């Protein structure tokens, strides 16, 4: 079981949006997920259309009265997502448990007693580093920090990272840290520069899929429906689906290949005439379908961005283009070039921004 806290003391940077949509996207990938709302504002609870004023038992009763999590967990409209709800009652928790022993480990202890089985626990933190966030970070093995790149404060981020370091030292427990750029507007030069800076600064711990600005995310929250059900064809869904894939990839890198429909074993896919070459190449097949396209090329990190260099191409009658490339394990950015126009791979939701202000598709081969 992986326990992931979503934390940042700054409000409005996308914590709740991430908690709601990551939990839903993981559930769509057949993971059993428990979302724990640790914010008295109850936005994660509302985001699953559960009325905060109608909740009987909540996370407050777990933290204050030692109730079992199993007794407060509710089912949600999304199969495989359960919710430990929160409401305004949680505002007084700091005073109410101020003199309890182990007041910083109340959530961790509750999770230890959990009987229901989950693959993931996602914890949505409030916008401060008080007792609720400390409880969440203590219980978690990982923390995702959403970072609003449209309004970036390095100062706030370093304070949070310091807190996490302090917590690691204090509790002696390792907390894997990941940064998720949010509200990214690729048309804004400022946002692109900030994203590059954050990438340079936090190389290796940053999600390669930023959550782009998408008004459907805001709408979906107000209707109490996760984006995967509210607007499955929106960039908000693609980005959170890509993020969920990255989380699963950490679990087992081979999972990723199954989730990227365009990548299949070359040996089974390619037509007879290139079979021999492909077998010899033992390559990866990238598939592009467009009956009208007269010329389709592929370029990426794997061929120094020289279109079709080192690529075996086949085209089928129905307009399916197959590009076979021998690539060693690694992460690669790439694009298709369709009759002279560069395009991201429409079959691959995972993209990263490039220095030209557009996107490259990203594939990871292990």
- Of 5, 7, 17, 333, the one binding ligand ADP (CB under 6 A) is 17
Scanning 42-50, 95-103, 218-226, 334-342 for contacts with Mg ion by CB under 5 A, the matching segment is 42-50
Indicate the angle between helix axes 15-28 and 235-251, nearest 10 degrees.
Answer: 70
Question: Which pair of tokens denotes residue 337?
Answer: 């070039």
Select from 243, 136, 126 the least CA-distant residue to 179.
243
State the DSSP H helix or E strand holding residue 321, giving kind and residue range, or none if neither.
strand 320-325
**What's the min distance (Å) between Cβ of 199 and Mg ion?**
25
Q: What φ, ψ does residue 331 adopt, rounded to 5°?
A: -100, 135
The least distance separating ligand ADP from the CB of residue 17, rounded to whole angstroms, comes to 3
Residue 307 contacts which entry, ligand ADP, Mg ion, none (Cβ below 5-8 A, type-dependent) = none
> With CB under 6 A as the contact rule, which of the stretches 11-19, 260-268, 337-345, 354-362 interacts with ligand ADP?
11-19
Window of 89-97, 152-160, 206-214, 311-319 that interacts with ligand ADP by CB under 6 A: 206-214
Among 25, 69, 147, 221, binds ligand ADP (CB under 6 A): 221
* 13 vs 262 by CB, closer to ligand ADP: 13
**CB of 16 or CB of 80, closer to Mg ion:** 16
Q: Which two tokens stand for residue 26?
A: 């993981």
CB distance 142 to 175 below 8 Å: yes
Size of the site for Mg ion (CB under 5 A): 3
Beta bridge partners of 98: none
How far is residue 271 from each of residues 139, 158, 226, 260, 274, measured CA to CA in Å? 52, 54, 41, 21, 6
> Which of 15, 31, 61, 106 touches Mg ion by CB under 5 A?
15
First to last CA, the chain: 23
CA dist list (Å): 30 to 4, 80, 142, 248 = 17, 7, 20, 11
Q: Which does 12 bind (CB under 5 to 8 A by kind): ligand ADP, Mg ion, none?
A: ligand ADP
- Can you tell me which of 43, 106, 237, 323 binds Mg ion, judged by CB under 5 A? 43
* Residues in contact with ligand ADP, shown as a per-residue x/- string from 26 to 65 under the rule CB under 6 A: -----------------x----------------------
Cα–Cα distance for residue pair 317/267, rounded to 1 Å = 20
Measured CA to CA, the distance from residue 158 to residue 156 in angstroms comes to 6
Q: Please provide the size of the chain in residues.
A: 366
To 10 degrees, what angle do helices 215-223 and 235-251 make? Answer: 80
Q: Does the footprint of ligand ADP cover residue 224 (CB under 6 A)?
A: no
Please give the Cα distance from 240 to 251 (Å, whole number): 17
Binding to ligand ADP by residue 13, rule CB under 6 A? Answer: yes
Contact call for residue 182 and Mg ion (CB under 5 A): no
Question: Which of Mg ion, ligand ADP, none binds 314 (CB below 5-8 Å, type-dependent)?
Answer: none
Three-state secondary structure call for residue 225: coil
Q: Which of residues 127 and 156 has its CB atom nearest to ligand ADP in the complex?
A: 127
Tell which one of 8, 9, 16, 108 touches Mg ion (CB under 5 A).
16
CB hemisphere CA count around 153 (13 angstroms): 10
Q: Of the ranges 5-13, 53-61, 95-103, 279-287, which one interacts with ligand ADP (CB under 6 A)? A: 5-13
The window from 51-59, 99-107, 193-201, 212-220 that contacts ligand ADP (CB under 6 A) reads 212-220
Binding site for ligand ADP (CB under 6 A): 11-17, 43, 127, 182-183, 211, 213-215, 217-218, 221
């Amino acid at each position: 079981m992986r326990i992931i806290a979503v934390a940042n003391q700054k409000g409005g940077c996308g914590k709740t949006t991430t908690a709601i949509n990551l939990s839903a996207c993981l559930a769509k990938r057949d993971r059993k997920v428990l979302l724990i709302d640790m914010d008295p504002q109850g936005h994660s609870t509302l985001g699953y259309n559960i009325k905060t004023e109608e909740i009987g038992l909540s996370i407050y009763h777990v933290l204050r009265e030692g109730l079992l999590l199993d007794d407060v967990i509710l089912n949600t409209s999304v199969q495989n997502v359960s919710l430990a709800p929160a409401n305004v009652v949680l505002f007084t928790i700091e005073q109410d448990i101020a003199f309890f022993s182990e007041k910083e480990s109340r959530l961790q202890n509750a999770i230890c007693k959990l009987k229901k089985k989950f693959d993931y626990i996602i914890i949505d933190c409030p916008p401060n580093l008080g007792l609720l966030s400390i409880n969440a970070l203590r219980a978690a093995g990982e923390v995702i920090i959403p970072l609003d790149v449209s309004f970036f404060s390095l100062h706030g981020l370093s304070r949070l990272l310091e807190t996490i370091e302090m917590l690691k030292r204090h509790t002696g427990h390792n907390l894997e840290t990941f940064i998720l750029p949010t509200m990214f507007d690729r048309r804004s030069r400022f946002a692109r520069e900030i994203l590059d800076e954050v990438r340079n600064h936090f190389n290796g711990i940053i999600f390669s899929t930023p959550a782009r600005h998408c008004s459907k995310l805001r709408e979906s929250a107000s209707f109490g429906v996760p984006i995967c059900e509210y607007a499955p064809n929106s960039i908000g869904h693609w980005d959170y689906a890509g993020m969920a894939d990255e989380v699963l990839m950490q679990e087992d890198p081979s999972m990723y290949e199954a989730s990227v429909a365009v990548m299949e074993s070359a040996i089974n896919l390619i037509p007879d005439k290139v079979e021999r070459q492909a077998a010899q190449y033992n390559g990866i097949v990238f598939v592009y379908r467009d009956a009208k396209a007269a010329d389709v090329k592929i370029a990426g990190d794997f061929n120094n961005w020289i279109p079709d260099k080192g690529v075996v191409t086949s085209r089928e009658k129905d307009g399916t283009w197959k590009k076979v490339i021998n690539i060693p394990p690694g992460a690669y950015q790439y694009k298709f070039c369709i009759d002279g126009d560069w395009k991201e791979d429409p079959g691959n939701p995972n993209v990263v921004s490039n220095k030209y202000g557009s996107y490259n598709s990203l594939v990871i081969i292990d």
